[in-house]
Structure 1
Amino acid sequence: MDIPPPPGPYAPPPGQQPWQQGQQGPPWPQGQQQGPPWPPPGHAPYQQWPGPYSPYSKPPVNGFAIASLVCGLLCCLPAVGLALGLVALAQIKRKGERGKGMAIAGSILSVVGVLLLVVAVATGGAREFAEGFKEAARESRENAGAFPVDKGGCFDAPDGKLDSMRYAFQVDEVPCAGRHDGEVFASFRVSNTSYPGDDALVDLAGTKCPDLQWPYVLDSWTDFGDAELYYFVPDRTTWRRGDRHVTCLFGAADPKHPLKGSLRRDATTLDADQLAYVKADRPFDEAYLSQPAAERVEDDLEGHKKWAARVDKGLAERVRRLRAHDWPKATRDHVDALVTEIGKARKEWAKAAGADDADSFNDHYVAGLQRLGEKNAVAARKSLGLATTSPRDATPEDGAESGLDEDHGEGAAV
């Protein structure tokens, strides 16, 4: 198909076909002056674009130039980007295509990428990057299906019932300040290479979660209210997806009475004086809670005597920590009085540890409880803004215990 020449001084008359270069055109109509032949010697019928492109369009952008710029920006294949840039420059020069700036920019960025890669290999950075990438991928696989609420977070369960919560995605995270069904206080990873079974996971959670509550709730005088200990364990399906974590929870025992406020009592919620006080209490609390399984002294006198010795040692460490801290003026006198009372209590616990029979043990044991200085402890705690209800208001025979133990976890796995 011939393209008509543009209008101008050499356009043929209307109705006439353009002459071909080198041919003599027909004569002009009679009475008209004959013009020069079309096209004039030395001129093409219309302007030619160098190369095979249309005279009415711009040359395309070279594809290798685009690819070079992309590789240079991503820095993932710097050598490839440099090669593409060089090819692009050669093609642009030969074909008259556009994209020279992109090819040059891609080549420069690729050269920078190659230099950085050389430095990374020389310093070991590339290896560390690869190891970090593998570790992130492994963690992603391990956390697949894990509980979506982190330590210290609170949540609501379906219909307010933790027992009906079977999958992690069913929970809704909510502020701990308001009402909620549960609070996460710890989690740990299961080391088994294959799925150990539901019963084994529940037993493992029931053993470890009670111990993990204490770093979260350092203050043994904390009022747990209606909270019970629950745990969320992987099932066979989530285990196949990479879930290896057991999540330990405080949950509402009665769905009609949800929890309110956080139970967390650690360095994130306590000031320096409060933290020093509750940490001073811990050695005695741990020893006191290690009493023998046999409730009757007559059934295990030796076990109870060893327990009394542990309590005496815990009280000694409690005194040491109380004396080591510089207390505020409003607290100092109460702490001094408490230390004096603990000294008297230690004598009774030491005698209980050396008792010859159950009756002698009970006499010194009761006297040791009465001389723990709880009134002074209450006064010191009140001055510090801590809880003031002692977990030892009742004796162990009355069933009083500090905090939650594994019995609260029985049947509470979710």
Structure 2
Amino acid sequence: MSTPPPPGPEQPQGPQGQYPAPPPQDPHAQAPHPRDPYAQSPYPQGAYPPGAYPPAPYGAWNPYPHPPRPAHNGVAIAALVLGVLCFLPAVGLVLGLVALRQIKKRGERGRGMAIAGVALSTLGLVLWALAIPTGVASEVWEGFKEGAAEETLSVKKGQCFDSPGGSLEGETYDLDIVDCDGEHDGEAFATVTVPDGSYPGDDRLTGIAEDKCYALQGDYAMDVWAVPDHVDVYYLTPTRQSWRLGDREITCVFGNTDGKGTLTGSLRNDATTLDADQLAYLESVRDLDAVLDREPEAYAEDDLDANTAWAAEVRDAVAAQSEALRAHTWTGDAEQPVAALVEELRTARGHWAKAATAGGPDAFYEHYDAGYAFYDGARTIDVREALGLDTSPPEYDYDGGEDSGGDLDV
């Protein structure tokens, strides 16, 4: 009687219904490593001992992943940032305390950041409390206002710039400084400081800008002949908002007459760019021009006294120009043409003297025209050519140019 084998995987039977005996074991053979997938197994392929399971394939995902980690608390992050920057320390302290409560209730991360934010904000509050009695806080605030105002009005005398909108009209909050050699929207030629106090209003600032900027353009561009006809005067004025930050400057600007065109090259010709001879001549011309610009609006037929009084001022200005030209020592080829101009000025002075004593409008205008004949004449062009100045007389706007120019609020 044979004894059946123990329960297990089905084994092939021998010719007589007996189970084959297991193969003889090599006493020197090493048992396969239990975890070696390539080791020889005593069981057929695909069969495993009772209670065993096939190994997981290489690279298979774990069917039981770790639970996700809790997220960082956003309020704690904000508290830490405010604490590090020492900006609004009271707000940083409140946010840190709120973050600690939220973290405890929700199980979020970020407790360390919240504690650091509370500590740094508390330190910031202590520093501010110590700074206020000593005036440090006031100095910080004044520095902030000055920096904000400087950022608002970011163009200085002699600088060229582009307006972000490409226009010199309306409002702007930033100007891009560019090289004057290339194309640009405007060139700053003067600044005017407005007295401190309450905001004077847009109309008042515009009136100050018009009076000051048109008067100051000759100090920056002394040779009016060198200013192209398509150039006009604009101005940057403070806004109500920038006034609160300490902005008290009006900036006078050269720009294109159409407000959106461009300029090329600097218009500056003053003591920083002119030689001694050029400067002496242009200074004498500027003084005379200042008097000629004060010509009365009323015609001699309507107000003879005002016109004759003005003619007397012109007479004295022509005499002063002649004296200034004679007193200067001219170099190079300028001496002879200047002497010829001085002689012409002597003749012009005689006509202005007669215009100043004219008994009627007809006599006034007779000497008025003769006195003006030298102005921008051949002798003037000869002097300019010898000095290396512009020799193309400008086109004068006898309508007053009231519709030209404009303002740009900053």
Q: What TM-score do you get using the length of structure 2 for normalisation?
A: 0.61
Q: 1:318 aligns with which of 316, 321, 333?
A: 321
Q: Secondary structure at the match of 1:329?
A: coil
4+ residue runs over 3 A deviation: 136-139, 141-146, 405-409, 411-414
Gap regions ≥5 residues in structure 2: 1-135
The question of whether the paired residues in 1 share the 8 Å contact of 2:163 and 2:172 is answered with: no
Residues 348 and 383 of structure 1: is their aligned pair in 2 closer, same or farther, counting only changes over 3 Å? same
2:352 equivalent to 1:356: no
Q: Residue 147 of structure 1 aligns to which amino acid in structure 2?
A: L
Structure 1 residues 82-93: aligned runs within 5 Å: none
| Aligned residue in 2 for 1:183 | 187
The question of whether the paired residues in 2 share the 8 Å contact of 1:335 and 1:380 is answered with: yes
Hey, what's the Cα distance between the residues in 2 that align with 1:300 and 1:400?
20
Q: Residue 268 of structure 2 aligns to which amino acid in structure 1?
A: R
The question of whether the paired residues in 2 share the 8 Å contact of 1:229 and 1:249 is answered with: yes
| Aligned residue in 2 for 1:198 | 202
Q: 2:404 aligns with which of 405, 408, 414?
A: 408
Q: Residue 272 of structure 2 aligns to which amino acid in structure 1?
A: T
Hey, what's the Cα distance between the residues in 1 that align with 2:382 and 2:288?
19
TM-superposition CA deviations, 1:8-67 (whole Å, max 9, x none): xxxxxxxxxxxxxxxxxxxxxxxxxxxxxxxxxxxxxxxxxxxxxxxxxxxxxxxxxxxx
Shift of 1:371: 3.7
The question of whether the paired residues in 1 share the 8 Å contact of 2:145 and 2:246 is answered with: no
TM-superposition CA deviations, 1:271-324 (whole Å, max 9, x none): 111111111212211111111122x22122111111111111111111111111
Hey, what's the Cα distance between the residues in 2 that align with 1:239 and 1:257?
29
Q: 2:280 aligns with which of 265, 276, 280?
A: 276
Hey, what's the Cα distance between the residues in 2 that align with 1:261 and 1:351?
44
Q: Secondary structure at the match of 1:355?
A: coil
The question of whether the paired residues in 2 share the 8 Å contact of 1:144 and 1:238 is answered with: no
Shift of 1:326: 1.1
TM-superposition CA deviations, 1:155-178 (whole Å, max 9, x none): 1112321114x2342x21111111
Q: 1:173 aligns with which of 154, 177, 182?
A: 177
Hey, what's the Cα distance between the residues in 1 that align with 2:148 and 2:380?
46
Name whichever structure is richer in helix by fraction: 1
Structure 1 residues 241-390: aligned runs within 5 Å: 241-254=245-258, 257-294=261-298, 296-372=299-375, 374-390=377-393
| Aligned residue in 2 for 1:155 | 161
Hey, what's the Cα distance between the residues in 2 that align with 1:179 and 1:400?
29
Q: What TM-score do you get using the length of structure 1 for normalisation?
A: 0.61
Q: Secondary structure at the match of 1:221?
A: helix
Shift of 1:224: 3.0
Hey, what's the Cα distance between the residues in 2 that align with 1:352 and 1:227?
34
The question of whether the paired residues in 1 share the 8 Å contact of 2:291 and 2:317 is answered with: yes
Hey, what's the Cα distance between the residues in 2 that align with 1:190 and 1:352?
41
The question of whether the paired residues in 2 share the 8 Å contact of 1:144 and 1:241 is answered with: no
Shift of 1:236: 0.8
Residues 406 and 385 of structure 1: is their aligned pair in 2 closer, same or farther, counting only changes over 3 Å? farther
Q: Secondary structure at the match of 1:298?
A: coil
- What is the Cα-based RMSD across aligned positions, in Å? 2.6
Shift of 1:390: 2.9
| Aligned residue in 2 for 1:399 | 398
Hey, what's the Cα distance between the residues in 2 that align with 1:369 and 1:225?
22
Shift of 1:142: 8.6
Q: Residue 273 of structure 1 aligns to which amino acid in structure 2?
A: D
Hey, what's the Cα distance between the residues in 1 that align with 2:291 and 2:145?
38
The question of whether the paired residues in 1 share the 8 Å contact of 2:300 and 2:361 is answered with: yes
TM-superposition CA deviations, 1:308-361 (whole Å, max 9, x none): 111111111111111111112311100000000000000001100111111110
Hey, what's the Cα distance between the residues in 2 that align with 1:291 and 1:253?
25
Q: Secondary structure at the match of 1:231?
A: strand
Q: Secondary structure at the match of 2:154?
A: coil
Hey, what's the Cα distance between the residues in 1 that align with 2:226 and 2:288?
16
Shift of 1:406: 6.7
The question of whether the paired residues in 2 share the 8 Å contact of 1:374 and 1:390 is answered with: no
Q: Secondary structure at the match of 2:291?
A: helix
Shift of 1:206: 1.3
Larger Rg: 2
Residues 364 and 234 of structure 1: is their aligned pair in 2 closer, same or farther, counting only changes over 3 Å? same
Q: Secondary structure at the match of 2:251?
A: strand
Hey, what's the Cα distance between the residues in 2 that align with 1:217 and 1:168?
27
Structure 1 residues 233-248: aligned runs within 5 Å: 233-248=237-252
Percent of aligned pairs with the same amino acid = 42
TM-superposition CA deviations, 1:182-202 (whole Å, max 9, x none): 010111111031111111111
The question of whether the paired residues in 1 share the 8 Å contact of 2:325 and 2:338 is answered with: yes
Gap regions ≥5 residues in structure 1: 1-129
